[in-house]
Structure 1
């Protein structure tokens, strides 16, 4: 059984992990995940995105969780805390990513459970997220107890340029 660790990264730790984070994001996009980027998407193209995430951590706008298997970063999820003043109780789940080499180990569930715990620590009790309709992630969120709010047709593009609908989910957290 591999050694799995899930932890929150500081800004400095996120900057040190840029190559590994870029590899995870690149792998997911190249595998067809609709997470905002288009193919081709080599790891070096992902570095500016992660630099922005690291800066957002430093501003307390984002919490970045990483899943490591045997010391290698292979999964991430972000908790977006930068909400409007009338939403101090809400946070966004962003970019749940698991490298294709590490799928099937329960990392997505572990990352989401840790993200929910971090949200509770920060007084957030309503979480929202969106995902490509009909893709594997949609079923994952339903299994994790998320509720479907609705679907917007042609909301985004898949990495290969096809239009895709987007499903919006929410989850209320117990205190």
Structure 2
């Protein structure tokens, strides 16, 4: 799924990773740390130590190996610059649904279509996995504009839902996207 970028930024390739290597874990940890240092409210507080970021990604890799999550990465010539997860494991009464989680784009790659490329790739992947409804939340106004532009429906805002990495409460906005009929799970 190549995605062409502006002349000032290398094109990115979005792909699914089903077995996460140590090098990929390190690269994903770097992206997470960069996002938190840049002020993203993505479950972590400042300072975010490398071992904590690596432990998070090891847990994600274990979920990927068990088939509970799908992991997409966006890579340019220098490596991983973005990622998003599809949380497939849901309660018994929600087999048709998945959560989109941790859309992360390194600051050096922002505003070049990386987040959009990842979000466009997550929808067909969800269909392949038998999902027809996606749900996500965000504390970012930039991400809200992206989701709305891509056809996601805004559900509402929960005030003071989480903390910014440097402290202080932030609101969280919930979105959903109905994908239509899904295929049988893989």
TM over 0.5: yes
Deviation at 1:71, TM superposition (A): 4.7
Query: Of the candidates 155, 175, 184, which is equivalent to residue 169 of structure 1?
Result: 175
Gaps of 5+ in 1: none
Q: Which runs of 4+ in 1 moved over 6 A?
A: none
> Matches of 1:142 and 1:3 in 2, distance apart?
24
Residue pairs, 1:14-53, within 5 angstroms: 14-53=21-60
Residue pairs, 1:25-104, within 5 angstroms: 25-104=32-111
1:91 partner SS: strand
| Number of equivalences | 173
What whole-Å deviation, never above 9, does each CA across 1:90-117 have from its counterpart, x for those lacking one?
A: 0000000000001122111110111111
> Matches of 2:50 and 2:114 in 1, distance apart?
21
- The match for 2:3 is none
> Matches of 1:32 and 1:20 in 2, distance apart?
19
> Matches of 2:146 and 2:74 in 1, distance apart?
17
2:117 partner SS: helix
Query: Of the candidates 5, 12, 17, which is equivalent to residue 4 of structure 1?
Result: 12
- The match for 2:158 is 152
Q: CA RMSD in A?
A: 1.3
Gaps of 5+ in 2: 1-6, 182-186
Deviation at 1:87, TM superposition (A): 0.6
> Matches of 2:87 and 2:65 in 1, distance apart?
13
2:39 partner SS: coil
Task: Judge conservation of contact 1:25–1:43 (CA < 8 Å) in 2.
Answer: no
Judging changes above 3 Å, is the alpha-carbon distance between structure 1 residues 136 and 3 closer, same or farther for their aligned structure 2 residues? closer
> Matches of 1:129 and 1:28 in 2, distance apart?
18
Q: Does the alignment pair 1:108 with 2:123?
A: no
TM-score by length of 2: 0.88
- The match for 2:149 is 143
